[in-house]
Chain A
């Protein structure tokens, strides 16, 4: 019976190589920001980030309402149930202001992500 070890070794090598040379490094994942929704508003209401770098925004719905985290400029809309946390991955942003809001509650104050 042919041993499976060489095949497994080759597969493992390929996986490691892919991880090393795929272009994604730990540094690219370090830009993580958090936004919390509670008491009918987002905190922080204004988020300042570095332009030109990929960004991951963790949005936490700490309320007991279903909301929709939405931004037309960022082209993102995600419904969130109470207690849910999502991660919105964004490409490098050009300098500027990107508004976000809760599309299910129009009386919730709008927030902004400022890239500079």
Chain B
């Protein structure tokens, strides 16, 4: 009976902690865009489904992003991702910054680091087919080859 009581106490404690955690809010935000990226339609569609939830101000927050502690992790991940690259703020980047972002994008695509595997498992629609990945890489390369600091396009 002692073991059962201990287990019951642990369950109640965890449940209480989870309930208390819901009162620690995680700020889910979608600020206004500051000069959004304007890629070709096909590229835009791929970026939106595979990248925009983390790397833009147009995050589609899922229901579980309202449930602590998962909400804290998701909000933190989106905040960090937006700091790395934010397609909604592309217009506010200096030309040199845009170039750096494109370089890192190219590397992340070539090395298969983006989208993250765990994200792809939870969001199958975000998976990049080989053709999608190749198209994005070509788009990145064309952006790097373009001397103009303007919008990136094929």
Contact = CB atoms under 8 A, between A and B. Distances in A.
A and B together in one complex: yes
Interface stretch (A2-10, A28-36, A101-109): A101-109
B80 A103 contact: no
**Residue with the greatest number of chain A CB neighbours at <10 A, chosen from B93, B94, B97, B100:** B100
A108 to B, nearest CB: 11
Interface residues of B, number: 11
Given A106-B93, A106-B97, A72 B104 contact: yes
Chain B facing A: main interface SS:
helix
Nearest to B111: A75
A74 interface: no
A110 B99 CA distance: 14
Chain A facing B: main interface SS:
loop
B83 interface: yes
Interface in B68-115: 80, 83-84, 93-94, 96-97, 100, 103-104, 107
Contacts of A12: none
A83 to B, nearest CB: 19
A74 to B, nearest CB: 12
A14 interface: no
Interface residues of A, number: 11
B103 A72 contact: yes
A86 to B, nearest CB: 16
Interface of B: 80, 83-84, 93-94, 96-97, 100, 103-104, 107
Given A72-B107, A104-B83, 13 more contacts: A68-B83, A68-B84, A70-B100, A72-B100, A72-B103, A72-B104, A77-B104, A79-B83, A101-B100, A103-B84, A103-B100, A106-B94, A110-B96
